[in-house]
Structure 1
Amino acid sequence: MEQRISDIQNKTVVVAPLDWGLGHATRCIPIIKELLKNNNTCIIATSGRSLELLKQEFPSCIYEEIPAYGITYSKSAFGMIWKLLFQIPKSLITKNKESKIADELVKKYNVDCIISDNRFGMYSKLCKSIFITHQIRIRLPLLFRWLEYPFYLINKRMISKFNECWIPDYAGTKNLSGILSHSWSVPHSHFIGPLTGRESTVCVNTFDVVAILSGPEPQRTIFENKLRAILPTLPYKSCLVRGVLASKNYSAQVGNCTIQTFATNSEINKLLCGSKLIISRAGYSSIMDYEKLGIKAVLVPTPGQSEQEYLGKYLQHKPNYWCINQCKLTKKLPEIIKEVLGKK
């Protein structure tokens, strides 16, 4: 990553992460840090929680709020597939708005470079444009898997409008994304290594197990309710971070489990470094965090999100990772925790 950014010095750069969850924003943190170190002026263009997070991390940067994609999800895995498909037109409208905004920002700030994390419309012919993604091949549900190559061709065409494509993964066999980044290619692509803003720190092991919840509703709540029924009953000291927006951070002790409303970015870093086992969704940004910190993790893919389902199954064959379907949590999670941490 440093090698690619070393060429960008004393420039004005727009960084535009996608606003689906916080993963795209968190993996832009090391990029923004490196840009600032190289004496660049950073304009951060995003929306929602991603905007708020990056404002906390980089209060001195310039911020532009741009349209959110506003994607909603279903309670069931099957329903989610169709709901996402029906929202494609809305995504295309947002993409077209982004293209106009990108040109406006270039003219307004005399921008030299745009770095877009999965926002297909955030590019401009008026300056250098860089696209960040680990999904060259978009994983589809089994029923639609025959469409993966046509989808790849569409994906390739959109990414090819950018001057470069940065892939946040290793180039070799020790990669984290499997076929998502390593089966098919796009022009001008570069493997820049995993992106994470997490730093390894020496912490006291406060908890045996830490569960960090994230992602869209209603699946976040379903995941929380299942963990609330499991963790307090186990003989291990655990913490459940609900991951919801609130004005106050409430904390409660239920059995052996501490349940808190949310955690700041720095608090999550301490929880990660101070626990023996993490439970979370199988989001790629979280996986990059765990890989850097050498953390053992139980991955629970969001039902219906084929990318997470693939990553969970792919990584469970590597050291330090286990994967459980959400519907099997009650039976399998206690068994895996006992296997990893030993009997108490």
Structure 2
Amino acid sequence: MAAGDLVLVTGSTGFIGFRTLRHALEEGYTVRAAVRSDAKADLLRRNPTLSSIQDLPSKLSFIIVPNILAQGAFDEAVKGVKYILHVASPLTTGITMDDDLEAKIIRPAVYGTLGLFGSAKKESSVKRIVVTSSMVTIPPIAVLTGQQPTEQVFKPEDRAHDVPGPYPAVIAAYVQSKIAALKEGEAWVVKHKPQFDVIHILPAFVGGRNDLAQNVEQLCTGTNFYFLAPVLGQEATEAAGPRVANYIDVDDVAKAHVKSLNEEVAGDQSFLLTNKGDDMKWNDAKEIAAKHFPDAVKSGLLPNDGDISPYMVIYSDISKTEETFGRIKSFEESVKAVVGQYLELKEKAK
């Protein structure tokens, strides 16, 4: 990294994106955040976790990209940029089976990525793009849904086949959005031979402290549900998605994105961010909560009687990930962080 290296970050108003933006700033990068509106930029500027970063106004700037699917949407955003952390991608929050899943989830994931690549190719300063993909792009959909249990050890180079519609659930469309975006992105690079290389980050269920959450409802939204449900006395439902016993801490995801900007890390490769698949169960969160927050469990503030079972195990080869980025956080560390924040927010709401 050279002083003044400019990094464009997309998706910085989301759970992973904000932590990644913050980590990039902490590591000394100058960051330009692409947001949909001035209001979104103000939300980030006011976040207290950024207040400790010295000379923040000179290190963090914003550019408005209201529609990532518009022709040339990122043309201005990429000017003068050396690196891009492309975290933005559609989530399933608020989407139902009554929606057009192709329009709401799949096309934005694919064409948002390809549009960014196209803009970056026109800007000679861009040397590397790191894309947030997902672990769901690796095993077949039948493995994710439990229809085809397997002891195969999956590698980051493995690729799942497309999931054709019509989709039986919103989560199936989400899986296809990730599969298609990864496949189309890799094919685009082969075809267009841009001046930049691409690294794909493939996280499992992401949990941990969410510094954008202002209340417990926001904290419990998304994949943190899996880390909190057993502790909060909730049960997983079919709508919550596959109960795969694979996790990663949000800090590790952010660290992997930013460390991927180091030119000592070879480009045009993928990294699986997950546990190996044999060292945790979601319901272990109850034992962890009782260990670290015994008073809250005893008082009933943490019911600690929820259940996420049965669950599937996906075995993963993460040797390359840990060699490159270091040891991943334990499930206990992730649960302790998110439950601790839950209790902070409960106290704040009194």
With the shorter chain as reference, the TM-score category is 0.3 to 0.5
TM score, norm. by length of structure 1:
0.39
Which structure has the higher relative contact order (CA within 8 Å, separation 6+)? 2
Q: How high is the TM-score relative to the length of structure 2? A: 0.39
